[in-house]
Amino acid sequence: MLDRTAIEKETQDTRRQLAAMEKEVKQLRDWMANNERALAGMNETLRRITEDGITKARADLALREGDLQRMRGIIARNEKILARINDIARKRKDIATLEQEQERLIVLLERHRTELRQLEQEFEEMVRPTSAPSGLVPCEIVLPNNYRIPLDPGKGNYMIGWYDASAGTRPRYRPAPSWWEYPGRQPPTCRGAPHRWAVDHYRSGQYQRHLPQRYAHVAQQ
């Protein structure tokens, strides 16, 4: 790539040469104009000498005007090159700035993607069906008549006994068909706790855990 400093120096030197040449051309044109006006008052010998001088001055003027045009062309070309160098430098600076912004945006984008994945995972964990405790082995509840009901860890709680709809609006629950009725009382329940199943019973206001086996008990499958 062209050296910016060299082009600027060449342009400055050419401008100085152009200014000096323009001054010489102006002086030459003035000399020619003055001598052309004085030809009428000259004798023949002096007129011939002056006309020869004017002819040579015209040829010299043509050469100098050619040099002026060449120097103006050099200056115009160098100015275009310098303008393009400035455009390239400015564009490179813009690209460097955009690349830095791009790196920042990439980091920001990856951070937001990571946060999004984390939020999605947390959401999936929130809406995922509750699984059975890892230590809860498959079990079933056994009623006095040896009727067996598999226990689903996802359900959690079971009521134990027979539903009696003969009581009308206040149905009764019986732990066994022949056991006494207790309308309005809580029936025995089988409760899924972490790593175990527990049979609980409310009776006469007393909380009794592990209902006697004659009413119901839990057995492993």
Do the bridges between strand 217-220 and strand 139-142 make them parallel or antiparallel, or are there none, so unpaired? antiparallel
What is the pTM (predicted TM-score) of this model?
Answer: 0.46
Domain boundaries, the chain: 4-126, 139-220
Contact between residue 192 and residue 155 where contact means Cβ atoms under 8 Å apart: yes
Half-sphere exposure of 111 (CA within 13 A, CB side): 6
pLDDT tens by residue, the chain, 221 residues: 568 899 999 999 999 999 999 999 999 999 999 998 888 888 888 889 989 999 999 999 999 999 999 999 999 999 999 999 999 999 999 999 999 999 999 999 999 999 999 999 999 988 887 655 555 567 777 766 777 778 776 666 666 655 555 545 444 444 444 433 444 445 555 555 544 566 655 443 333 333 444 445 555 54
